[in-house]
Amino acid sequence: MSHSPTPYSRSTSRNQADPNPSFSLSKTYDPSIEEPRWQEYWRKHNLYKFDTTDQSRPTYSIDTPPPYPSGEFHVGNALNWSYIDFVARYQRMKGYNVHFPQGWDCHGLPTEVRAEQTFKIRKNDLPPYQFIEICRKLSEEYIQRMKEAIMRLGTSCDWILEYRTMDPEYYKLTQLSFVMLYKSGYMYRGEHPVNWCPRDETAIAEAEVVYVERQGLLHYMKFGSDDNSLEIASTRPELLGACVAIAVHPEDTRYSTRVGTSTRVPVFGQKIPIIADEEVDPTFGTGAVMVCTFGDKMDVKWQKKHNLPVIKEITENGRIDASDPRFKGLKIEEARRKVVEELKNEGRMLREEPVKQNIGTCWRCNTPVEIISRPQWFMKTKQMTDEVTASADQLRWVPPFSKKRLIDWTQSLDWDWVVSRQRIFGTPIPIWYCKKCGETLVADENHLPSDPRRDPPPREKCPKCGSSDLKGDTDVFDTWMDSSISAAVHAGWPSNKGLFVKLFPADLQPNGLDIVRTWDYYLLVRSLAIFHKAPYKTLLINGMVRGTDGRMMHKSYGNFVETGEVIKKLGADAFRQWAASGGATGYDIPFRWNEAEHGKKFLTKLWNVARFITQDSTTGANAPQLTKPSTIDRWLLGSLQELVTTVTNAFDNFQFNTAIEAVRDFTWHSLADDYLEAVKYRLQPDSNPADSRNARFCLTQSLLVICKLLAPICPHITEAIYQEMQGVQEG
């Protein structure tokens, strides 16, 4: 397929291997034989290598999502990579020099959790660098598994461009980007309430909080003295020790005389003010709510707005740090039960009601998230809301509705992005602190990568007070700090400026709908801050894969299907057809075995048609030429040209379902059922020679064009047929 394929084009595409004259089509199509055979041929000839010396062809760059090396390449992953490969192969056929890298987002919580589960340890049981080495080895093991799965799918990425975010040459650039943003005022350190996972003992970003509905209890409690009491309803009585105020709506007449006065907290006894705030919901509970530090985001907002004190009651490992020995050291759930028991003993528990709650949980371990105040590093993303929104409006979104997901998320954020994590396996934060005066020392750019946990500071003494008592930061970066510079890194930043101009911004940003709020957002804010432009031009967003029961595919639901299982049974090209035909781009797609099996049947049909045409026709340089075509010949060639137009437009607009259905319909019905059956008599030895040549020409050209149109989706079978058809080497 050249820049615009025609039914008569004989030029081979750059994604097809050199012809193999010794190859012929077997009697039956066996993907378990044909697919590995051609994959090895492509690798041997290094056909998908990005040519850095090519000055003639335009470039097309793809910022491939670097997955966590979990070891599992599930159907959802394979859907995403199929979409990417459709585009990469199509753009090569249009004449582009395609830059298609593959990376691995190694650092962070998923790898640490997997290491702990695999070796039955906790990260703090080992010296840090011993635990890091375990995580690195585990990552390499899982990368190899996933790499094999991606290759077996037939993905045409350039493995020379492979990268790992845990490699020093990569995380050096993560650190460099931080230093640049620190110097330009985007990065700051401060004590601010953050989402916190008590199980993993680390801060997590808002995008990593998963909200789930759970059944809870609403506890109605009596505050103050018996003759001047207040009835307060709360789902979290264990936070009574951190209660710093009672808030009511200013227009709630029930409490108009109480605003400005005070009351006492039951069980714990501290005296707290009663304040008015318009954001209190007078219909919830009794209309009077506890302000605790911190139960939820509203507590954070009210504490800051009304300048209330902060009582740190929950520790980093999820225990109560109360002054009252009855509760000190208890886990949160234990403390809740104990406080309720004491409330009842003191006659302060009035009643309890069941209530549905939206609970924020850790995206990785499902532990309920707490909000605690701890020194963290932040990026000033809140101030970028308008800039991000304006930039998103200038980009091409496929499908268009996915843009709203990013903009809505951007405009809903209450806090800046917390970029530090209290973990071990991650990119170190290149910062040291003066223990005497608190001055911050940032690493020199020419000394990166650097690990303050073991490396000396950039200066022997504090530039502010002269003290030599300097301590390195022990935190690491959020893993999104690594992956949010991917588009720039594999485009050559910062060393190869010539390549960077060609490849940045990326032409295509392909990923699932589930990471629009994370990867797409973080890429955008970081690129706008560093490079003053978006890191991508077009975002191709795929939906999620659902099981046969209609629910999201997940092992816990029993509806999980491994990609390898499908490919082993039906082949990669059959799976890729399912990916293309499953539904409109960007929408959730159900996996159904019968649809994938239909793809396998089509491949068998195409193979049989190809065997008939290639064994009966002269192909390649000596192919028959068209002279005085009949009505049915003209009909077929006209339909073929319409097919070319339809499929080309479909690929240009990422409508893969339209492309595959059009090719299958033409092949199965127009070519095989109608034309081939109608002209079989013209292929007999005693038929008119001119009629026979015309029929052979139409059949040969139809098959050739079908192979070219189908090649981005079904590269293996089309490669095999295409090579059989070429009588001479053409490319």
- For 154-167, write each residue's pLDDT tens digit: 999 999 999 999 99
For residue 562, being part of any structural domain is answered with: no
Q: What is the mean pLDDT of the chain?
A: 92
User: Tens of pLDDT along 290-301?
Assistant: 999 999 999 999
User: Tens of pLDDT along 417-456?
Assistant: 999 999 999 999 999 999 999 999 999 999 999 999 999 9
411 phi and psi, to 5 degrees? -80, -10
Confidence tier at 202 by pLDDT (50, 70, 90): confident
Confidence tier at 14 by pLDDT (50, 70, 90): very low
Q: What pLDDT is attached to residue 620?
A: 46
User: Tens of pLDDT along 316-373?
Assistant: 999 999 888 999 999 999 999 999 999 999 999 999 999 999 999 998 788 999 999 8
User: Tens of pLDDT along 142-155?
Assistant: 999 999 999 999 99
Confidence tier at 552 by pLDDT (50, 70, 90): confident
Confidence tier at 718 by pLDDT (50, 70, 90): very high
Q: What pLDDT is attached to residue 17?
A: 42
SS3 per-residue string spanning 304-318: HHCCCCCCCCECCCC
470 phi and psi, to 5 degrees? -115, 140
Reduced to 3 states (helix: H, G, I; strand: E, B; else coil), residue 76 is: helix
For residue 496, being part of any structural domain is answered with: no
What kind and span of H or E run contains 174?
helix 168-183
For residue 390, how many other CB atoms are within 10 A of its CB? 11
User: Tens of pLDDT along 581-620?
Assistant: 988 899 999 998 999 999 999 999 999 999 999 886 554 4
Confidence tier at 13 by pLDDT (50, 70, 90): very low
Does the pLDDT of residue 711 top 90, yes or no? Answer: yes
Does the pLDDT of residue 500 top 80, yes or no? Answer: yes
**How many whole angstroms separate alpha carbon 566 and alpha carbon 577?**
12
For residue 569, being part of any structural domain is answered with: no
User: Tens of pLDDT along 377-389?
Assistant: 999 999 999 999 9
For residue 217, being part of any structural domain is answered with: yes
Confidence tier at 624 by pLDDT (50, 70, 90): low
Q: What are residue 274's DSSP bridge partners? A: 246
Confidence tier at 11 by pLDDT (50, 70, 90): very low
> Which domain does 336 fall in, by range?
206-362
**Region of residue 536 (left: phi > 0; alpha: psi -120 to 50; beta: else):** beta
**How many whole angstroms separate alpha carbon 110 and alpha carbon 529?**
28
For residue 149, being part of any structural domain is answered with: no
Q: What CATH number should be reported for the domain holding residue 307? A: 3.90.740.10
Counting the structural domains of the chain, the total is: 1
Q: Do the Cβ atoms of 274 and 246 come closer than 8 Å?
A: yes
Give mean pLDDT, residues 135-148. Answer: 95
For residue 296, being part of any structural domain is answered with: yes
| E strands present in 543-612 | 545-546, 589-590
Give mean pLDDT, residues 194-223. Answer: 90
**Per-residue exposure over 42-65, b if at least 16 CB sit within 10 Å of its own CB, e if not:** beeeebbebeeeeeeeebbbbbbb
Residue among 39, 22, 21, 18 at smallest CA distance from 715 = 39
For residue 349, being part of any structural domain is answered with: yes
Does the pLDDT of residue 653 top 60, yes or no? Answer: yes
Asked if the bond preceding 494 is cis, omega within 30° of 0, the reply is yes
Q: What pLDDT is attached to residue 23?
A: 55
Does the pLDDT of residue 120 top 80, yes or no? Answer: yes
Give mean pLDDT, residues 540-546. Answer: 93
The mean-pLDDT minimum among 65-74, 280-289, 695-704 falls in 65-74
Q: What pLDDT is attached to residue 97?
A: 98
Give mean pLDDT, residues 79-88. Answer: 98
Direct distance between the N- and C-terminal alpha carbons of the chain, in angstroms, rounded to an integer: 12
Task: Decide which of 658 and 16 is more confident.
Answer: 658
Give mean pLDDT, residues 615-629. Answer: 66
Tokens 């399912």 belong to 578
Amino acid at 729: Q
Q: What pLDDT is attached to residue 308?
A: 96
Q: What pLDDT is attached to residue 19?
A: 42
User: Tens of pLDDT along 249-285?
Assistant: 999 999 999 999 999 999 999 999 999 999 999 999 9
Q: Do the Cβ atoms of 482 and 46 come closer than 8 Å?
A: no
For residue 192, how many other CB atoms are within 10 A of its CB? 17
DSSP assignments along 258-316, one per residue: TTT-EEE-TTT--EEEEEE-TTS-TTSTTSEEEEETTSSHHHHHHHHHTT------B-T
Orientation of helix 656-665 relative to helix 689-710, angle to 10°: 160
Confidence tier at 621 by pLDDT (50, 70, 90): very low
Amino acid at 32: S
Tokens of residue 354, six digits: 């069941």
Does the pLDDT of residue 695 top 70, yes or no? Answer: yes
Q: Do the Cβ atoms of 273 and 248 come closer than 8 Å?
A: no
Does the pLDDT of residue 10 top 50, yes or no? Answer: no
Asked if the bond preceding 505 is cis, omega within 30° of 0, the reply is yes
For residue 513, being part of any structural domain is answered with: no
